[in-house]
Amino acid sequence: MGKFTDALRKAADERLHRIEKMEHHTQVRYEFVARKTVESDVDPRIVAFYDPISPVTEQYRVLRTNLLPFSPATKPLKAIAITSSTHSEGKSISAVNLAVTMAKDVDKKSVLLIDADMRRSRVGNYLGIPAHAGLAEVLAGTANVDECLLHVGVENLTVLPAGKAPLNPAELLASMKMKELVSKLKARFDFIIFDAPPIVPVTDVAIFGVHMDGVLMVVQANRTQKGVIRHACTLLKQANINLLGHILTDIRYHIPAYIYRYL
């Protein structure tokens, strides 16, 4: 009886080994960092810049499609903010990837990416932009907006960096100058994406979010707690801000090879 049991166990182990070996060869994993295909200072995590056929880039195309109007009668979104409930959830990377994807649209839409996170700006780092005057200086009245707009080697994409970190970012975002700036830029660009600060730690999004057509909230998988997300949504609702939806980042899973080959 012992020999029979040992034989069954051995057969089961061999079968499990064959299955694991098959899964290893027939499944692929999403890559969130691209290989640099051109010489550039753009961060490899901006996958939409380096790898336009990546499954990750395709997800940003899906997001872009969801943001566009489905009919001429639908009011188009002109300015949106991308935020998160807390820090380090991937909002800045999402904002830059979406901006690059929007700029590469076949309709050649003019896209403006604004780094509105003046406390912890990241857009310049991801795009390889050296320190430069930006939103802070424009709102403080020490620089003209045209002097601060930058082109980063992506056709149809313009960037307004955050500038030097000010002592009063909330007050600058709440100013009449901010309202006038958003209105002025809406007339110049087809689409504007703001990389906004997180919702829970600071009040910035609640202050200037009213000038946006909507807000997207980034949520990091397996990290952000449900209670924190609910609290962030409540804060947006209390400020009468239109929450368009959520972007789930840092998803780790396998997909069958036959699906991947279609992509």
What span, in angstroms and rounded, lies between the C-alpha atoms of 57 and 131? 28
Q: What is the pLDDT of residues 188-211, one digit of tens each?
A: 999 999 999 999 988 888 888 888
Does residue 222 lie in a domain region?
yes
Least confident of 72-81, 92-101, 216-225, 240-249: 72-81
pTM: 0.81
pLDDT on residue 205: 86
Q: What is the pLDDT of residues 21-51, one digit of tens each?
A: 544 444 444 445 545 555 578 999 999 999 9
Does residue 81 lie in a domain region?
yes
Does residue 12 lie in a domain region?
no
pLDDT on residue 245: 92
Kindly indicate the confidence band of residue 105, based on its pLDDT and cuts at 50, 70 and 90. confident
Does residue 64 lie in a domain region?
yes
CATH of the domain at 183: 3.40.50.300
Task: Name the domain count of the chain.
Answer: 1
Does residue 242 lie in a domain region?
yes
Best CA proximity match to 98, nearest among 46, 159, 42:
46
Does residue 2 lie in a domain region?
no
Residue range 144-151: mean pLDDT, rounded? 94
Give the SS3 label for residue 150: strand
User: Do the Cβ atoms of 148 and 135 come closer than 8 Å?
Assistant: yes
CA dihedral 117→121→127→129, nearest 10 degrees, is 120
Kindly indicate the confidence band of residue 123, based on its pLDDT and cuts at 50, 70 and 90. very high
Domain that holds residue 252: 28-262
Does residue 6 lie in a domain region?
no
Give residues with Cβ within 8 angstroms of 92, minimum separation 6: 115, 117, 122, 123, 126, 195
Q: What is the pLDDT of residues 232-250, one digit of tens each?
A: 899 999 999 999 999 988 7
